[in-house]
Amino acid sequence: MKRRAFLGTTLAGLGALLPGCGGGGGGGMGGGGMGGFMPGLPFAPGASLAPGLALRDLPKLANESALAGRFTASLAAAPSNTSLVEGRTTALWLYNGLFPGPVVEVREGDRVRIALENRLPLDTTAHWHGLPVPADQDGNPMDPVRPGTTRVYEFDIPSGTAGTYWYHPHAHGTVAEQVSRGLAAPFIVRAANDPLAAIPEVTMLVTGIRLDGNGQVSPNGPLDFTMGRQGEQLLVNGGRLPVHTVQPGATQRWRILNATSSRYLRLALDGHAFTLVGTDGGLLGAPVGPLAEIVVAPAQRVEIVVAVTTAPGARFTLRALRHVSDTMGMGTYSSEDLLTLATTTAAPVASIALPATLRPVVDPGPAVAARRVVLTQSGMGMMGAMFGFLIDGRSFDMNRVDFVSTQGAVETWEIVNDTFMDHPMHLHGTQFLLVSRESGGRVTPAPHAAWYDTVDVPAGTTATIKVRQDLPGRRMFHCHILEHEDAGMMAVL
């Protein structure tokens, strides 16, 4: 009752703010190939990147250490002028001048030491998303790296962490801006005995970019801080609709990272089903499939194995299908093409069979504590947002501790979403298991055991997770729609 009345008011408010908005689930395309937003929303068609170039192989961050078991490297976050659209120079913020940033690739057991030099005009940090690093090495908002200074991060990569992670800034209030200007890159941890080592792999970092008519990254406005940043062109490894060419019959492992600020990727590949082999924290116990589609929420990663058609000279599209991420139709993303899979005219290569089991996902045991966290909305948010999204009724304060857990204790968390939007909720410091989802009184157990650091909690539903923090310190818990995080949808554990 109360919720309905509230939504009525806010809908009217949005209508007033958005002249021409019909309020329905749109799905139309804007000009210049910038899909993904509703007709009537105030995004001027901007400059778009030329589609159809070859999929880029992301450069690796060079290891400066010759010692076994050490990974030592340097990153500089700095303004950088890049040529993205014909005849224009786009001012970005990049790691080591690269768009996207360099891939950190390490092995389980490595000691990592990465120096981050901040040449940006504002505070930044490097956050090692999903990795169990000590709290004081995690690039938390409480540890800003000031402009003109260098910070060295040092941590170990424990065994069992092999998987696909990423790194990005976490300076409070400007994460969305820093990521949308180019600061995001993969961080891959390899195992000594990878059961899929025989399968060729490709890393696909999906990012979004919204350019104005001059080819400059458009800033976030109140609507972005309310709904997440819409109207972006989706890029894979920095290219728009790149072409990935393989031999017919090839078996490939794709590590797909959703580094967009707010775009849910409901992935489907024309003419192909695929097999899910890994999530945020690495491999599943056993392959899951065949699947026709999979949703990768903002910040999540998946590893899928694709058995490519044996047809020579064929082309298939990897799409991010239409997705509705709220109950008011404001967060409707139309279907967009992400990448073209093309086969060569060579004779088909033999396929590679998947092993029956991958890596055990070991349940941490019975929970000794239960927590219930409620996501709500308020009438007016920070950063000009039309709503504030709150965790247990509060907006972020980095000087406050919101939850206390005991080191090593297994907990269940019921994350209740009482807002009109879906929120991909992310917890630092560890990987967790999804136990079940509840929607309209119906509880659905998780279909398979998998490690996550980000769980989507759709509007009006509850997700229950099982989690254990093995390292002490302050950990962030937040929505990974970066504009929501910046506007205060974050708590301290």
Question: Which spans of this chain sit near ligand C2O (rule: CB under 6 A)?
Answer: 127, 129, 168, 170, 299, 426, 428, 476, 478, 480
**AA letter at 283:** L
Which residue, 270 or 470, has its beta carbon nearer to ligand C2O? 470
481 counts as binding Cu ion under rule CB under 5 A: yes
479 counts as binding Cu ion under rule CB under 5 A: yes
- Give the residue from 309, 302, 493, 324 showing the smallest Cα distance to 413: 493
Copy the structure tokens of residue 325. Answer: 């991420």
Least separation in angstroms between CB 249 and ligand C2O: 37
Choosing among Cu ion, ligand C2O, none, which partner's interface includes residue 299 (Cβ < 5 to 8 Å by kind)? Answer: ligand C2O
- Give the residue from 275, 266, 281, 294 showing the smallest Cα distance to 449: 281
- Give the residue from 237, 172, 226, 179 showing the smallest Cα distance to 203: 237
Strand-pair category, 251-258 with 265-269: unpaired
Least separation in angstroms between CB 86 and Cu ion: 35
Choosing among ligand C2O, Cu ion, none, which partner's interface includes residue 434 (Cβ < 5 to 8 Å by kind)? Answer: none
β-strand partners of 280: none
Choosing among Cu ion, ligand C2O, none, which partner's interface includes residue 244 (Cβ < 5 to 8 Å by kind)? Answer: none
> By beta-carbon distance, which residue lies closest to ligand C2O?
129
Least separation in angstroms between CB 426 and ligand C2O: 5
Which residue, 37 or 93, has its beta carbon nearer to ligand C2O? 93
Please select the residue that binds Cu ion; options are 129, 172, 319, 359, rule is CB under 5 A: 129
Which residue, 30 or 282, has its beta carbon nearer to ligand C2O? 282
Distance between first and last Cα of the chain: 32
Give dist(CA 356, CA 367) in Å, integer.
30
423 counts as binding Cu ion under rule CB under 5 A: yes
484 counts as binding Cu ion under rule CB under 5 A: yes
Q: Let me know: does 75 contact 115? Beta carbons within 8 Å.
A: yes
Spell out the residues 6+ positions from residue 215 whose beta carbon is closer than 8 angstroms to its own.
Answer: 46, 47, 84, 85, 88, 89, 90
Least separation in angstroms between CB 480 and ligand C2O: 6
Which residue, 167 or 225, has its beta carbon nearer to ligand C2O? 167
Least separation in angstroms between CB 139 and Cu ion: 9
DSSP string, 416-450: EE-SSB-EEEEESSS-EEEEEEEETTEEEE-SS--
Least separation in angstroms between CB 131 and ligand C2O: 11
Least separation in angstroms between CB 257 and Cu ion: 13
Least separation in angstroms between CB 150 and ligand C2O: 22
Which residue, 211 or 375, has its beta carbon nearer to ligand C2O? 375
In the chain, % helix, strand, coil (3-state, to 5) comes to 10, 40, 50
Which residue, 260 or 334, has its beta carbon nearer to ligand C2O? 260
Give start and end residues of each alpha helix (H) in 197-241: 222-227
Give dist(CA 138, CA 156) in Å, integer.
12
β-strand partners of 472: none
Choosing among Cu ion, ligand C2O, none, which partner's interface includes residue 468 (Cβ < 5 to 8 Å by kind)? Answer: none
Residue 392: phi, psi to the nearest 5?
A: 50, 40
Choosing among Cu ion, ligand C2O, none, which partner's interface includes residue 481 (Cβ < 5 to 8 Å by kind)? Answer: Cu ion
Choosing among Cu ion, ligand C2O, none, which partner's interface includes residue 266 (Cβ < 5 to 8 Å by kind)? Answer: none
Q: Let me know: does 331 contact 38? Beta carbons within 8 Å.
A: no
Interface residue list for Cu ion (CB under 5 A): 129, 423, 428, 479, 481, 484
